[in-house]
Amino acid sequence: MPKIQIETKKMTKYYPTGEGLFAALKDVTLNFTEGEFAGIVGPSGSGKTTLLNVIGSLDTQSEGEVIVLGKEVSKLNAKESAALRSEHIGFIFQTYNLLPVYTVYENVEFPLLLLKMPDAERQKAVMDALDWVGLTDKAKSRPTQLSGGQSQRVAIARAMVKKPQIVLADEPTANLDTENSMNVLETMEKLNKELGTTYIFSTHDAKVIAFIRRKITLVDGRVDSDVIIG
Amino acid sequence: MFKFLIKGLLRDRSRSIFPILVVIVGVLITVYFVAFMNGFVESMIKQNANLDTGHVKVVTRAYAEVISQKPFDLSLLDITDDMQQWKTRYPQLEWAPRITFGALLDVPDSTGSTLVQGEVAGMAVDLFSSSKEIKRLRLTKALRKGSLPAKSGQVLVSEALFDKLNLKLGQRVTLISSTVFGAMTLRDFEISGTVTFGVQALDRGGVIADISDVRRMLDMQDGASEILGYFTNADYKDKTARNLALDFNKTYSDSTDEYSPIMLTLSQQNDLGAMLNLFDSSLAITLFIFVGLMSIVLWNSGLMNGIRRYGEFGVRLAMGEQKKHLYRWLVMEAAVIGFFGTVIGTGLGLLISMYLQVYGFDMSAYTQNSTLLYDNVIYAHITPSCYYIGFIPGLLAVIAGAMLSGISIYKRKTSQLFKELET
């Protein structure tokens, strides 16, 4: 029986607006188990990114409970939530967000420096991560020398290098063409299967939806449907 | 991590080039300013010491009370034995007895009757037994016409007095004054040359004579109104001078005898102490202003840099880097920039100062009407402080700038990171 890694119970998130409080998420109750490859879909403003924010301990819920890897995120202080992110959660962004002055190798190395991993172990981990995404030959390149697809694969390597338990990816293929999107998705699927990492995407890209094994649809902040695809 | 930081600074020139330029320029100016002020103050000290105050000065206690009036009737008498003792006790000092006196200069016509008279401020120094007083007073350089006195009975007069009284070189004139005991005294002198010091008091009506001639004229054999002491290594150190004066006064001065000797340091004369303090304060204030101005510039540069690196900071926070770690990183980057900027700025500042230490800066065009005692050409003087003083503005300003601009990291909401990083 796979272990539950993320639990949200009747979770609501309000944002203050000029006219009072706006509920971005309403009574969201979801569980994510180890090794899932799940997508959160829905139109713009449906609450996809807010849900990823809370799961990633970048934000806290207004009501209800959110437990990530056994920790209630709203009870974590800044240091604890930073530690949760740096040790257990990887992030992949739509716009890659690689550090432009550093090489591919150094970009992937950075999360391990934050974890103060010893040199030899770190070097091996970085090369392994680049190998997973098929970019060992680009280790010395700068992000500006890479295509969009290659950049996103570096971002995947950066998210995966510390072998996190959860990877949160916000619209990871939105800036990629079909070929690169497929390539990136295949890479993530392979890593999900080989390393058992849980992947949660926010997306409305049909190509992504074709890859995911669970599809959660949000509409106006509520879970409209939660379907196991395969 | 530090290697990572250095790589970032080296590769991203826009991150480091402007702050490092600001630091280089600021530090360069600071080092140059300090070296120049050192030279200026030292020139002033040297000029004052040579012309008037010595590094230390021994006078009678009564003379010290009214020292600005230069009352030679309160002079030290029979000084040879005393000076011998002082030379033994204080081998680090050279002594120079002098007499300053007021007199009337009487210019006779061909019949010997008075043609014209003028008030003069006389200075008697040892012109013949050694050349040190000639060097101290820079008489060779100050000489405008004629030559320095070569024998007893010759005097130098100021160029202004020479012109005013329509004097001629080789002309015999009479100095009329009173002896140390109050009797009237007259003595004939021959004008050997004219001098200009660039010091109003001396240039208006100055007469310089050998001390032996003046002692005879004023009936003060073996006397001197002031005995100036100079450190043999030529540098004035106020603390050393004060300690020495303390020892001298404890040993030789008697508070119940108004004719007993008392030693005054340079800083205790002519308000020079206040002037030196003023220079020290000016330096501190200038440094403070520099640190402030540079901090503001670097703060703004840091803010601009922060905007440019918004994405980088965001992704690092998302990856789990703590805000305080990121803040420390920025401060560390600033410290590295400050350190290298300071090293380069100090090097350049020292180079310019070295040039000015050798060739000097001619200020004669700006100081024609000045009554301050300093050389027309100011030489910078590089002291040990010049090697480290730049680190105060260089490091302090750049770190303060980074600390101020880095505060924005704490204002960053992690809940907005996804949104911010995808725009």
pLDDT digits (tens, 9 = 90+) for A182-227: 888 888 898 899 888 999 999 888 888 888 899 999 999 999 999 9
Q: Which of B421, B417, B420 is nearest to B323 (CA)?
A: B417
What average pLDDT does this structure show over B350-374?
74
Q: Which residues of A touch B8 (CB under 8 A)?
A: 101-102
Write out the two tokens for B295. 């901090």
What does residue B161 show for φ and ψ, rounded to 5 degrees?
A: -65, -40
Q: Give residue A132's identity as a one-letter amino acid code.
A: W
B418 touches chain A (CB under 8 A): yes
Domain co-membership, B82 together with B34 = no
**A87-144 per-position pLDDT tens digit:** 999 998 888 889 989 999 999 999 999 999 999 999 999 999 999 888 999 999 999 9
CB atoms B4 and A110 under 8 Å: yes
CB atoms within 10 A of CB B144: 12
A94 CA to chain B: closest CA distance, Å?
Answer: 6
Q: Which residue of B has its CA nearest to A85?
A: B320
Question: What is the C-alpha separation between B298 and B310, in angstroms, rounded?
Answer: 17
B192 and B84 together in one domain: yes
Given pLDDT bands bounded at 50, 70 and 90, which one contains residue B190? very high
Of B8, B417, B421, the CB nearest to A101: B8
Q: Under an 8 A CB cutoff, do A79 and B312 touch?
A: no
pLDDT tier at B418, thresholds 50, 70, 90: low
- Hey, is B362 helix, strand or coil? strand
Tell me the mean pLDDT in the region B243-255: 92
E strand or H helix that includes residue B150 = none
Bridge partner residues of A7 (DSSP): A31, A67
CB contact under 8 A, A86 and B415: no
Q: Which chain B residues are within 8 Å of A113, Cβ to Cβ?
A: 1, 4
Same domain, B22 and B64: no
CB A221 within 8 A of CB A47: yes
Residue B245 in domain: no
Counting other chains too, the contacts that B161-170 makes at CB distance below 8 Å and 24 or more residues apart are B161/B105, B161/B118, B161/B120, B161/B204, B161/B205, B161/B206, B161/B207, B162/B191, B162/B194, B164/B118, B165/B105, B165/B107, B165/B116, B165/B118, B166/B107, B166/B116, B167/B107, B167/B191, B169/B145, B169/B193, B169/B194, B170/B146
Residue B335: Cβ within 10 Å count: 15
Can you tell me the distance from the alpha carbon of B159 to that of A133, in angstroms, rounded to the nearest whole number? 92
Tell me: pLDDT of A175 over 60.
yes
Question: Do B224 and B336 sit in the same domain of this protein?
Answer: no
Q: What angle do CA B158, B164, B167 make, to 5 degrees?
A: 75
> Which chain A residues have a beta carbon less than 8 Å from that of B320?
82-87, 89, 111, 114
With vertex at residue A138, the alpha carbon angle to CA A132 and CA A141, rounded to the nearest 5 degrees, is 140
Distances A69 to A7, A74, A219, B199 between C-alpha atoms, Å? 9, 13, 26, 86
A14 touches chain B (CB under 8 A): no
Report pLDDT for A171.
85
User: Does A56 contact chain B (CB < 8 Å)?
Assistant: yes
Whether B280 and B191 map to the same domain: the answer is: no
**Which residue among B215, B235, B255 closes a domain?**
B235
Same-domain status, B330 and B382: yes
Please state, in angstroms and rounded to a whole number, the distance separating the CA atoms of residues B284 and B291.
Answer: 10
Q: How much is the average pLDDT of B49-53?
A: 87
CA distance A178 to chain B (A): 20
Domain ranges of chain A: 4-228
State residue B6's pLDDT score: 87
Q: What is the mean pLDDT of residues B326-355?
A: 93
Q: Indicate whether B235 pLDDT > 80.
A: no
Q: What is the pLDDT of residue B369?
A: 57
Q: Does B5 touch chain A (CB under 8 A)?
A: no
Mutate which of B418, B420, B421 to disrupt the A interface (most A C-beta within 10 Å)?
B418
Backbone angles phi, psi at B151, to 5 degrees: -150, 165
Query: How many residues make up chain B in this entry?
Result: 423
8 A C-beta contact, residue B413 and residue B55:
no
Longest CA–CA separation in chain A, Å: 56
Question: Are residues B155 and B84 both part of a single domain?
Answer: yes
Q: Which of B211, B235, B259 is the last residue of a domain?
A: B235
pLDDT digits (tens, 9 = 90+) for B72-90: 889 888 899 999 999 999 9
Residue of A151, A152, A162 lying closest to A128 (CA atoms): A162
What is the span of the domain harbouring residue B370?
2-47+274-421
How high is the pLDDT of residue A168? 93
Q: Cβ B418–A93 below 8 Å, yes or no?
A: yes
Q: pLDDT band for position B370 (50/70/90)?
A: low
* Number of other CB atoms surrounding residue B14 within 10 Å: 11
Domains in chain B: how many in total?
A: 2
Q: Tell me which of B249 and B315 has the higher pLDDT.
A: B249
Residue type, B406: G
Main-chain dihedrals φ then ψ at residue A61, nearest 5 degrees:
-75, 160
Same structural domain for residues B81 and B136? yes
Q: Is residue A94 less than 8 Å (CB to CB) from chain B?
A: yes
Please check whether residue B421 touches A, CB under 8 A: yes
Is B308 among the domain residues? yes
Query: Which of B15, B312, B417 shows the shortest C-beta gap to A58?
Result: B417
Backbone φ and ψ of A122, nearest 5°: -65, -45
- The more confidently predicted of residues B187 and B1 is B187
pLDDT grade for B283, boundaries at 50, 70 and 90 = confident
pLDDT of residue B374: 54
Could you tell me if residue B246 is inside a domain? no
Joined together, the tokens standing for residue A186 give 């295949």
Choose among B24, B1, B30: nearest CA to B333.
Answer: B1
Is it the case that residue B371 has pLDDT exceeding 60? no
Which residue is it, tokens 């980057």? B333
Mean pLDDT over residues B386-412, rounded?
A: 85
Q: Is the CB of residue A209 less than 8 Å from the CB of residue A203? A: yes
What's the pLDDT at B200?
A: 66
- Judge if B292 and B404 occupy the same domain: yes
Query: Is there a single domain that holds both residue B116 and residue B201?
Result: yes
Q: Per residue in B117-159, pLDDT tens?
A: 889 989 999 998 877 889 888 888 888 999 999 999 999 999 9
* Residue listed under structure tokens 């002055």: A101
Q: For the domain A4-228, what is the CATH code? A: 3.40.50.300
Considering the domain architecture, whether residues B102 and B15 belong to the same structural domain is answered as no
> Which residue in B229, B195, B186 sits closest to B83, CA to CA?
B229
CB A168 within 8 A of CB A200: yes
pLDDT band (50, 70, 90) for residue B365: low
Length of chain A: 230
Q: Same domain for B74 and B223?
A: yes
Q: What is the pLDDT of residues A131-143, one digit of tens each?
A: 988 899 999 999 9
Residues on chain B touching A171 (C-beta within 8 angstroms): 422
| Cα B291 to Cα B347: distance, rounded to the nearest angstrom | 19
Helix axis angle, B2-11 relative to A104-114, nearest 10°? 140
